[in-house]
Chain A
Amino acid sequence: MIRVEGYEKSYRNTVAVRGLTFDVAAGSVLGVVGPNGAGKTTTMRALAGIIPPSQGRLSVEGFDIVDDPIAAKSRLAFIPDEPQLFDVLTVWEHLEFTASVYRMTNFSDEAERLLEKFELTEKRNTIAQELSRGMRQKVAICCAYLHNPVAIIFDEPLTGLDPRGIRTLKSSIRERAAAGAAVMVSSHLLDLIDDLCSHLLILHRGECLFQGTIAEAKSRMETAGTDTSLEDIFFQFTEPGTEVVSDATKE
């Protein structure tokens, strides 16, 4: 569903991401982890068609994000880390506008359902300026879900959400994946990744250190045990001197 082949992004003398290749199949949830500056957001923004790749191909459901951006973007939803809403628009108007962007004619029922799910029904006529950080995040998520995207990309999705909001979001991600969507989640919260994701991608300084299932990651640990946490795995991989084990180097 989401396919990245030989993706590279460089700025003058700096290489932000180097030769990244991975797939996110329909129904799977890929957790993207890495220290600050690892290239997570750069990769996600490239997939969302915001920043062009220096090299490589990125596609959504077979549509290349550079050659056929409209088709690719129509199938995709990108939720950035900071929910940026239009201050003077109401919650409902955000949904109305999003429906118009994706040329949806009958959106009301789905919008109502999403508002109810994310406990925003009472806030439907509240302007964004008056919402808390967590509520703004929920509105951004509702807008992203509205057109039933087949690929969903979350950049640090839990920031500002209350425990109930976190539970709702996690269950919604599982539901979307179960319904056949390919989901990518970037987060520093390793527990979230462990709990939610089927696959793992560890990036460090723009390079892929590991990709595979979470079970594979755990089994690859030298001191692997049944109770190995993702935190242990993360530090094991990102410690200085760790060998890069991306697909590119394997070849």
Chain B
Amino acid sequence: MFHPALWKLIRLQWRGGFRQLGRSLRTWRGLFFVGFIVVMALYGLGSLYIASRIGSQSPQVSDALIKMQNDFLPLGLFAFTFYTLVFSTGEATVYFTASEAAFLFPAPITRKQLLAYLLLKSLLGIAGISLFFGVFMSPQFAMAIPRWLAVVMTLSFLQLLTMNVSFLRQILEEKLSLVIRRLLGLIFTILVFVAVAQTMQSVNGNDFDAYLKFFQQSTAGKLMLAPFHVFVRALTAPDWQTFFPYAAILFSVDLALLLLAFRLDALSLEAALAISEKMTERLKMIQSKGAWQAFESKRDSSIAQRKIAQLPYWGGIGPVLWQRMTTTFRSSTRLLWVLVGAVAFAAGLVFMIARSGPDSARTVVAPFVGMGAMAYMSFLICLTLQNEIERVGYLKSLPIRPISVVIGDMIGFPILLSVIQSLFIVVLACCFTRIAPWLLCGALLTLPLNLLLFGIDKLVFYIYPTRMAKGAPGDFQNSGKQMIFMTLKMLMLGAAAFFVIMAALPGALALQSPVVAVACAGFVLVIECGALVPLLMIAYDRFDPSTTIVQ
């Protein structure tokens, strides 16, 4: 059933991974990078474990955790099943790497053997990921193994369900598949609608828990969620006796789905090759141009309609800035949606805090929490933007002075981000008039803050030009490097923020004047951004695209 070459491949890849790790550890530099990531991982997992252990000592925390799982897990699983059955193509579940496709597809290996290989690899991955949820997040150490098994079976269910849906879509006529999916979508939608209607009719007030409870206990809710309660029972079983019957059901469901996948025997090499090529292309794109451009859905000439007027020359800044802004505008629709999502998230946070009580402190805290959330989202977005090594090579070939290139390249995205953030803050100021002057003054700081954030990111990149690693097995060295650069950026940002806060404090606390506080903070920010420019210029001048750190 399982081709011996496929065992060999798995074994060789594991061996290669360990060999890679061993090679990393042979140099002091490699040892440092690997050591750093191990320490960070131990710190992260250790704190999770300790937090769950401490939590389990308190019956209240433990009960709250179980209640949360009971409340949300069935809903989450239902949402996933709904999405999979109605919308998903299941592409990700039949993913072969480019090298697997090149070696295995033209080889004398049957489709079922390839499917078995795919499933085995996936199971090994799931078993590893499940350790995280099963062991480190387990409230009871004694129940870590059954919890781990339950997580493995739950994730396997999701994987197998998606794979079978993908196979069925290939087997069925396109029209029939569409009719079935629409029918299922209609049934699910009616069930959700009925459950929501029943809940809204029966529950009054603002208690979210009451709404949730009634939704789950309504007839339609029970019908939708009942199959998924089995997963929760297995995951939260307090002892082995309780675990066994639910685990047996889960195992049977997974086994049935597994047999169905083999029975359908619909692994199409053509479709798998197309998926593999698409993913490989996407990975290359992520490496060279970043995740946002890689996940851009629209790649035809229609994006040329999104135009930005040509800017004046401005000593060379204009063309560089125009090119950067046009590229962002045309190839980062999803990024713009994420920004809109960030605004919605921050607004939701503000709304929830402001609504949770009449306390006037909340009306002060709420808008600042919203601003903080926006700033944090900007930070996360900044980290996901890939600096393009090839683009710097191109910019260096232009007859434009380094200072103009550095400024033009740095200010494009921060301007866009600052406009969105400022609009959000202005809306907040309209809603929270009591602290409107503070908020409006704060809006003035968005541009220098974003410039500082992106400037630091660019500076670290020019000094240590890194490219996102391909993520070969056992290659912890690259992850360690990325993590160290991230820490470096955060330290630099922290130091810069410290001086800004120190400058703003006297105005804010002693004089209670937003204008003075913002003026002082703004002054320090402008000095910091100004100081960054010559540093960026020197780093850009010395930048050598041929010596990228991560290949």
Residue contact B99 to A98, C-beta cutoff 8 Å: no
Indicate with 1 or 0, residue by residue over B95-117, a CB within 8 angstroms of chain A CB atoms. 00111011111111110000000
Chain B contact residues, majority secondary structure: helix
Residue contact B16 to A101, C-beta cutoff 8 Å: no
Partner of B16, one of A50, A74, A78, A88: A88
The answer, yes or no, to whether A85 is at the interface (CB within 8 Å) is yes
Partner of B99, one of A45, A85, A103: A85
Residue contact B269 to A70, C-beta cutoff 8 Å: no
Using Cβ atoms and an 8 Å threshold, which residues of chain A touch B380? Answer: none
The answer, yes or no, to whether A109 is at the interface (CB within 8 Å) is no
80-107 of chain B: CB within 8 A of chain A: 97-99, 101-107
Residue contact B105 to A86, C-beta cutoff 8 Å: no
Using Cβ atoms and an 8 Å threshold, which residues of chain A touch B19? Answer: 88, 127
Partner of B4, one of A77, A82, A87, A100: A100
Known: A89-B12, A100-B4, A100-B5. A76 touches B110 (CB 8 A): no
196-235 of chain B: CB within 8 A of chain A: none
Chain A contact residues, majority secondary structure: mixed
Among A50, A71, A76, the most chain B Cβ lie within 10 Å of the Cβ of: A50
The answer, yes or no, to whether B8 is at the interface (CB within 8 Å) is yes
The answer, yes or no, to whether A235 is at the interface (CB within 8 Å) is no
The answer, yes or no, to whether A84 is at the interface (CB within 8 Å) is yes
Residue contact A45 to B108, C-beta cutoff 8 Å: no
Residue contact B106 to A87, C-beta cutoff 8 Å: no
Using Cβ atoms and an 8 Å threshold, which residues of chain B touch A143? Answer: 103
Q: List 19 A-B contacts (CB under 8 A).
A: A45-B273, A48-B106, A50-B273, A69-B110, A73-B106, A73-B107, A82-B102, A84-B97, A84-B99, A85-B99, A86-B99, A87-B470, A88-B20, A90-B16, A97-B8, A101-B103, A102-B107, A102-B108, A129-B470
Residue contact A51 to B102, C-beta cutoff 8 Å: no
Residue contact A89 to B13, C-beta cutoff 8 Å: yes
Known: A88-B474, A127-B16. A49 touches B269 (CB 8 A): yes
A72 CB to nearest B CB, Å? 8
Residue contact B103 to A97, C-beta cutoff 8 Å: yes
When C-beta atoms are compared, the residue in chain A nearest to B8 turns out to be A100
B381 CB to nearest A CB, Å? 30
Using Cβ atoms and an 8 Å threshold, which residues of chain A touch B20? Answer: 88, 127
Known: A88-B17, A96-B12. A48 touches B105 (CB 8 A): yes
Partner of A88, one of B3, B5, B473: B473
The answer, yes or no, to whether B184 is at the interface (CB within 8 Å) is no
Partner of B106, one of A78, A83, A93: A78
The answer, yes or no, to whether A212 is at the interface (CB within 8 Å) is no
Partner of A101, one of B17, B98, B109, B470: B109
76-128 of chain A: CB within 8 A of chain B: 76-78, 80, 82-90, 93, 96-98, 100-103, 127
Distance A162 CA – B323 CA, assembled complex (angstroms): 37
Distance A143 CA – B103 CA, assembled complex (angstroms): 9
Q: How large is the interface on A (under 10, 10 to 19, 20 to 34, 35 or more residues)?
A: 35 or more
B289 CB to nearest A CB, Å? 19
Binding site for A on B (CB under 8 A): 3-5, 8-9, 12-13, 16-17, 19-20, 97-99, 101-110, 268-270, 273, 470, 472-475
Among B5, B102, B109, B110, the most chain A Cβ lie within 10 Å of the Cβ of: B102
A19 CB to nearest B CB, Å? 20
Among A69, A71, A76, A97, the most chain B Cβ lie within 10 Å of the Cβ of: A97
A63 CB to nearest B CB, Å? 10
Residue contact B270 to A52, C-beta cutoff 8 Å: yes
When C-beta atoms are compared, the residue in chain A nearest to B111 turns out to be A69
Among B4, B16, B107, B472, the most chain A Cβ lie within 10 Å of the Cβ of: B107
Partner of A51, one of B12, B97, B270: B270
Using Cβ atoms and an 8 Å threshold, which residues of chain B touch A129? Answer: 470, 472
Using Cβ atoms and an 8 Å threshold, which residues of chain A touch B107? Answer: 73, 101-102
Using Cβ atoms and an 8 Å threshold, which residues of chain B touch A50? Answer: 105-106, 269-270, 273
Distance A147 CA – B338 CA, assembled complex (angstroms): 52
Residue contact A70 to B110, C-beta cutoff 8 Å: yes
27-62 of chain A: CB within 8 A of chain B: 45, 48-52
A124 CB to nearest B CB, Å? 14
Having A74-B108, A87-B472, one finds 10 other A-B pairs with CB under 8 Å, namely A45-B270, A48-B105, A51-B269, A52-B268, A69-B108, A86-B99, A86-B103, A88-B13, A101-B5, A140-B102
Partner of B12, one of A48, A80, A93, A140: A93
When C-beta atoms are compared, the residue in chain A nearest to B9 turns out to be A97
Using Cβ atoms and an 8 Å threshold, which residues of chain A touch B4? Answer: 100, 103
Residue contact A89 to B103, C-beta cutoff 8 Å: no
Distance A207 CA – B475 CA, assembled complex (angstroms): 47
Distance A143 CA – B8 CA, assembled complex (angstroms): 16
Residue contact A51 to B273, C-beta cutoff 8 Å: yes
Known: A52-B270, A78-B106, A97-B5. A86 touches B101 (CB 8 A): no
187-211 of chain A: CB within 8 A of chain B: none
Residue contact A87 to B270, C-beta cutoff 8 Å: no
Residue contact B273 to A86, C-beta cutoff 8 Å: no
Using Cβ atoms and an 8 Å threshold, which residues of chain B touch A98? Answer: 103
Known: A88-B20, A101-B107. A80 touches B102 (CB 8 A): yes
Using Cβ atoms and an 8 Å threshold, which residues of chain A touch B470? Answer: 87, 129
Distance A250 CA – B102 CA, assembled complex (angstroms): 37
Residue contact A84 to B270, C-beta cutoff 8 Å: no
Distance A90 CA – B9 CA, assembled complex (angstroms): 12
Among A89, A101, A102, A127, the most chain B Cβ lie within 10 Å of the Cβ of: A101
Partner of B108, one of A70, A80, A96, A97: A70
Distance A36 CA – B459 CA, assembled complex (angstroms): 42
Distance A77 CA – B435 CA, assembled complex (angstroms): 73
B474 CB to nearest A CB, Å? 7
Residue contact B106 to A76, C-beta cutoff 8 Å: yes
